A = this chain, B = another copy of it.
Amino acid sequence: EVTRDVDEELIQKFISEVDNMEIQENLRELTKVPHMATTAGDEQTVQYLLKRWQDPETGLDQAWREEYLVYLSFPDPKTPNKVTVESPTGVVLYTAREKEKVYGLDPEDPEVVQPYAAYAPAGHPKSDHLVCKLCQTSSPPRLGRLVYANQGTPSDYAHLNQTVNLTGTIAITRYGGAGRAQKAINAAPYGVVGVLVYTDPLDINDGKMSDTNETYPNSWYMPPSGVERGSFNTHFGDMLTPYLAAKENTYRIPQANITGIPPIPTQPIGFEDAYALICQLGGESAPPEWQGAFNCSYRYGGPGFRPDSTFKDSEVKLDIYNRGEIKNSSNVMGVIKGSIEPDRYVIYGNHRDSWVHGAIDPSSGTSVMLEVTRVLGRMVKQGKWRPRRSIIFGSWGAEEFGLIGSTEYTEEYYSKLSERSVAYINVDIAVFANATLRASGSPSAQSVILKASKQVKTPGSDSISVYDNWIRYFNRTSPTYGVIPNVGFLTGAGSDYAGFIHFLGVTSMDISYTYDRSKTSARIYPAYHTAYDTFDYSSRFIDPGFTSHQTVARTAGNVLMRLADSLLLPFNCSDYAETLEGYLQKALELYREGLAAHKISIEPLQTAVSRFRSAAAKLEEVIRDLDLANETPLKVRRINDQLMLLDRAFLDPFAFPDKYGFRHVIWASSKAGQPTFPGLADAYSRAASSELGRDWEEAHRQLSLLSQAILGAAHTLGDVI
């Protein structure tokens, strides 16, 4: 029993039992009503998850809810946010839509939340709100005049500011290029008093704009009134309780101390409203890279509208009534207890909350998770299977507001999760599109993902494996394996894996089905975070028949079973070495000379990576030489602990003290945009641009702590004594 290994027959049985129609019905149930975090609709999904996971025939060993009191931000349903154009005499010339247009037979659902920028402050930008730090003239500003600021990046505003006095202006920006909150954070220092954001049809609709035939419900493209909602934040987790689980009496920082959210009122609007505003702007023509899909020239703004426009001399008024509220958000947790190593956890999760109906985000993932638990749960209930290790399922709350439920969970259970977690599998949006698998993860998890993908077939009758299909869409040349599918890295905080990989250092992966990039250049599926992300949308345009959902369930479930059942953990530490060597190569190219010019030797980093490689090679050799069926349980456990703790060894809580939760020195987020070590890249780029002594010192510190972390990881893999 103690030397039991993964059972390939059971995996085949799992694959064959995963049912696309079950997934479809899960999705139908999950998307009946809007289920924004902490609303009544959210509570319905809590109840549904509990019912499913407590089902006596297909449920788990146990399921329960865990609650946190977290800081959210909502518009005021009684006083909706408004965007209007007002003439100098106070006449309202134009009012942007308050809600998205409803197509089809359903009446307008009052539970659909008005599009808004969560965490953007309430306000009515006027002269007395002006706080201008970079104002260049003392002439009286023209208030509320609109300007077009492209994507709202720092360089966009810097460029715009060369032509237009931004003091007192409202900036309209398009999604992309900068994080949601950054568009306002970047704007405020120039005296901009409010920000609008919209999705340009160029970026989401392959240019398509007309709702008479080109957009949903006639295609997957976003209708003119569609608006991407979102959390306008920078850090993840509940903003008031960094590093503390948000319970009733937990210390909360003053709201004034929150960083990383818009300092000025901000509102997202549909592209039909953006069209009406942008195409009437005055001023000079913006450069070609700033142009979108509208049939007009995108101009900077005078500031304000063209003299020959009906909006001439008019202001854009934002009346924003968002307010912060501390609300009770639930995670739903379920477990299958491990038989032999119950103190080792394989965790599988996805968020449950959506912005509206959330058929794709997140309910595609939840309907897949429910199918995985149905098949595994039944095997357990029937006594046909019990995993070697424990499996924990998490249905996280309030992800849309900043990965809150999963992060609070990692804070509350930090000690036992970091002691015992083998891996975390995240399946949020399971199906962006039905072309190919996409996966990201820690390099040591590459091999198990590839293995599973070879055992699962793509949808349809052509009998090609997920692996063989995948490699056509995303591939890379590995020095070790040649051409293989490209498993990406988890360098950001895009979904609930963030707390696991960055904060806990648990080997994590994120799995989905996605686009054929030759067929669309949409930033993401066009209904993302809009009221159009519905069962109808998904079943007609994303995955008719739900076979891509089924494929993701089979692949992710296969990975899950291997992680839970393999006698020896299916992690390959030499693949980690390959990644570090690639990062090192890039760092040498980019930074060696510049560092040397400041008397900083990059040699410790080279030494560290080379020691890591040796330790990994030696451990792989030990593993190859194992006679698994006859090894003592404690020897296997020892090697498994080395593999399990590998990602943990890369943590340094003081590496990035200002970036909440980012402790993993290989995968932390980075601004530098280079495929190399993030802390070094950011510090180097800052130092090279400032040439300040203290910035070079920070580059040196980053180099030292990075080298030490990699050496530490090598120690974890090396001979134990």
Contact = CB atoms under 8 A, between A and B. Distances in A.
Interface of A: 2, 243-245, 247, 249-251, 253-254, 335, 337-338, 340-343, 345, 390, 392, 411-416, 419-420, 600-601, 603-604, 632-634, 637-638, 641, 645, 648-649, 652-654, 657, 697, 700-701, 703-705, 708, 711-713, 715-716, 718, 720-721
Nearest to A711: B412
Contacts of A704: 244, 249-251
A648 B645 CA distance: 15
Given A243-B705, A637-B634, A700 B342 contact: no
A712 B416 contact: yes
A152 to B, nearest CB: 32
Contacts of A711: 412
Contact of A243 (B392, B600, B638, B654): B654
A340 B634 CA distance: 8
30 contacts: A2-B634, A243-B652, A244-B701, A244-B704, A244-B708, A247-B604, A249-B601, A251-B703, A251-B704, A253-B697, A337-B721, A341-B638, A342-B638, A342-B720, A343-B720, A345-B721, A392-B721, A412-B711, A413-B712, A413-B715, A415-B712, A415-B713, A415-B716, A416-B718, A419-B641, A419-B648, A632-B633, A633-B634, A634-B637, A653-B653
A632 B2 contact: yes
A630 to B, nearest CB: 14
A393 to B, nearest CB: 12
Nearest to A653: B653
Nearest to A602: B249
Contact of A603 (B244, B249, B603, B648): B249
A2 B701 CA distance: 45
Given A2-B634, A414-B712, A653-B653, 13 more contacts: A2-B632, A249-B603, A250-B604, A251-B700, A251-B701, A341-B634, A390-B720, A412-B708, A413-B712, A416-B712, A632-B633, A634-B634, A634-B637
Contacts of A338: 721
A601 B248 CA distance: 10
Given A637-B637, A654-B653, A721-B390, A716 B337 contact: no
Most chain B C-beta atoms within 10 Å of own C-beta, residue among A253, A414, A648, A713: A414
A340 B638 CA distance: 10
A721 B342 contact: yes
Most chain B C-beta atoms within 10 Å of own C-beta, residue among A243, A343, A415, A708: A415
The list of the 8 closest CB pairs from A to B, nearest first, reads A415-B712, A343-B720, A415-B649, A653-B653, A251-B704, A251-B700, A251-B701, A416-B715
Nearest to A655: B243
A235 to B, nearest CB: 14
A179 B135 CA distance: 52
A379 to B, nearest CB: 18
Contacts of A657: 657
A24 to B, nearest CB: 32
A721 B337 CA distance: 7
Q: Could you say how many copies of this chain the assembly holds?
A: 2
A250 B244 CA distance: 33
Nearest to A719: B342
A251 to B, nearest CB: 4
A121 to B, nearest CB: 22
A244 B705 contact: yes
B645 A415 contact: yes
A377 B141 CA distance: 84
Contacts of A697: 251, 253-254
A392 B721 CA distance: 9
A416 B632 CA distance: 22
Nearest to A642: B343
A245 B415 contact: no
A424 to B, nearest CB: 16
A148 to B, nearest CB: 42
Contacts of A700: 251
Contacts of A413: 712, 715
Contacts of A412: 708, 711
Contacts of A716: 415-416, 419
A456 B337 CA distance: 45
Nearest to A649: B415
A347 to B, nearest CB: 12
A335 to B, nearest CB: 6
A276 B416 CA distance: 62
A343 B718 CA distance: 11
A702 to B, nearest CB: 8
Most chain B C-beta atoms within 10 Å of own C-beta, residue among A243, A254, A657: A243
A507 to B, nearest CB: 15
A155 B106 CA distance: 76
A55 B57 CA distance: 66
A600 B249 CA distance: 8
Contacts of A632: 2, 633
A720 B700 CA distance: 42
Contacts of A415: 645, 648-649, 712-713, 715-716
Most chain B C-beta atoms within 10 Å of own C-beta, residue among A251, A412, A718: A251
Given A249-B601, A251-B701, A721 B335 contact: yes
